[in-house]
Amino acid sequence: MRAILVHGFNANPSMNFHPWLADELRARGFEVVAPTLSLSTQTELNLPAIMEEMKSQIGYLKSDDILLGHSLGAFIILQYLEAIEMTETPRAVVMVAAPWKVSRPELRRLFLVDLDADVLMWKAREFVVVHSKDDPLVPFEHGKRLAETFKARFVQTDADGHFMAERYPVLVDTLVDIANRPFEFAPGSSLDDDYTP
């Protein structure tokens, strides 16, 4: 199983929890890919170039891939899912401390204004939102709104802020749980059955 860890803006794979999480996942048998992307709030957002960076470092997505994006990195994952040609559906997308929207006009095109949530929901077999109640940068309500939109499993923590420290066991637990849990889904299973008395 492959874990793809996408950092947020003004960050890189050697910052925050990324190095620790990568080591923890490798120790549990995951292949880990942590792309380095040109994500900066100091320069103009060039989505086509960022998508090319993702493509060259990640390649095609496989059915056992789990993608985890931190903060705005979650929306880079969603953009990637919409932009690339897919032959397989990844196992899960995990959005950590991701905002619902931002006020900065240059970053607005990352968000669901230009993304079709109804289509994106089918681009991964499962969505998970992880958000801390005390996040000082992204209000807790943003995480709940994302979870509702993507019909995602919502993992609430109480004292992890914006997930910018070195270790968060909840992230390891979440990815290991996804990897070990059989995916139980039958097409149409959520629809009412008009033919059963």
What mean pLDDT, rounded, does the chain reach? 86
Per-residue pLDDT of 167-183, as tens digits, reads 999 999 999 999 998 76
What backbone phi and psi angles, to 5 degrees, belong to 32? Answer: -120, 130
What pLDDT, on a 0 to 100 scale, did the predictor assign at position 176?
96
Residue 187 has pLDDT above 50, yes or no: no
Residue 164 has pLDDT above 70, yes or no: yes
Of 24, 3, 77, 20, give the one whose Cα is nearest residue 47: 77
In DSSP terms, 52 is beta-bridged to: none
C-alpha span between 164 and 184 (Å, rounded): 33
Residue 95 has pLDDT above 90, yes or no: yes
Per-residue pLDDT of 59-90, as tens digits, reads 889 999 999 999 989 988 988 998 888 888 99
CATH number of 2-180: 3.40.50.1820
Residue 94 has pLDDT above 80, yes or no: yes
Length of the chain: 197
Tokens 């994006």 -> residue: 69
C-alpha span between 66 and 43 (Å, rounded): 29
Q: Tell me the mean pLDDT in the region 156-160.
A: 97
What pLDDT, on a 0 to 100 scale, did the predictor assign at position 82?
84
Confidence of residue 188 (pLDDT cuts 50, 70, 90): very low
What pLDDT, on a 0 to 100 scale, did the predictor assign at position 42?
78
Ordered by start, the domain boundaries in the chain are: 2-180
User: What DSSP designation does 33 have?
Assistant: E
**30 conformational bin, left if phi > 0, alpha if psi -120 to 50, beta if neither:** beta
Helix axis angle, 169-180 to 18-27, nearest 10°: 40
Q: Tell me the mean pLDDT in the region 109-128.
A: 73
* Side-chain half-sphere exposure of 146, counting CA atoms within 13 A: 32
What pLDDT, on a 0 to 100 scale, did the predictor assign at position 46?
82
Residue 13 to residues 1, 56, 70, 104, 189, Cα–Cα distance (Å): 19, 16, 11, 24, 39
